[in-house]
Amino acid sequence: MQIKKLDHVNVRTTQLDEMISWYTNVLGLRSGVRPNFSFPGAWMYAGDSAVVHLVGIDEPPATGSEVALKLEHFALSATDLASFESRLRATGEKFTRNDLPEVNLVQINLWDPDANHIHIDFQADE
């Protein structure tokens, strides 16, 4: 067996509608085909890939021991940095930008309605 790539991130939320809206309007993902599970949710697609799975829950998420989750962030790669930054400014979305010339990346850091940290990576020379 050889790992080839990260397939998706699963995010539990008590704000399913708000999260669908944010991932659609801010990140430009779209809600798409999802199996008929016994719980609410949405699969958010980038092109043909469901990259973020949202799961609707009734109570705040916690691990089995009631300890906060330890995932600090997840990252997505994208193109058209200028357009994305313009969209964020136009909507008033809070974000920070990190230029990383050593690895030819620009990272845009932002937080969804549940305060999950996400960074979007762009090639600096695009």
User: Which tokens in the block code for residue 36?
Assistant: 């008929």
pTM for the whole structure:
0.85
Question: In terms of residue numbers, what domain contains 36?
Answer: 9-58+73-123
Q: Which residue has the higher pLDDT, 117 or 2?
A: 117
The number of folded domains in the chain is: 1
Q: What is the pLDDT of residues 34-70, one digit of tens each?
A: 999 999 999 999 999 999 999 998 876 554 545 556 6
**Strand blocks (E) in 1-126:** 9-13, 30-32, 41-46, 49-56, 74-77, 95-100, 105-111, 117-123
By DSSP bridging, strand 105-111 and strand 117-123 are antiparallel
Q: What is the pLDDT of residues 102-124, one digit of tens each?
A: 999 999 999 999 889 999 999 99
By DSSP bridging, strand 49-56 and strand 41-46 are antiparallel
Domain with residue 19: its CATH number is 3.10.180.10
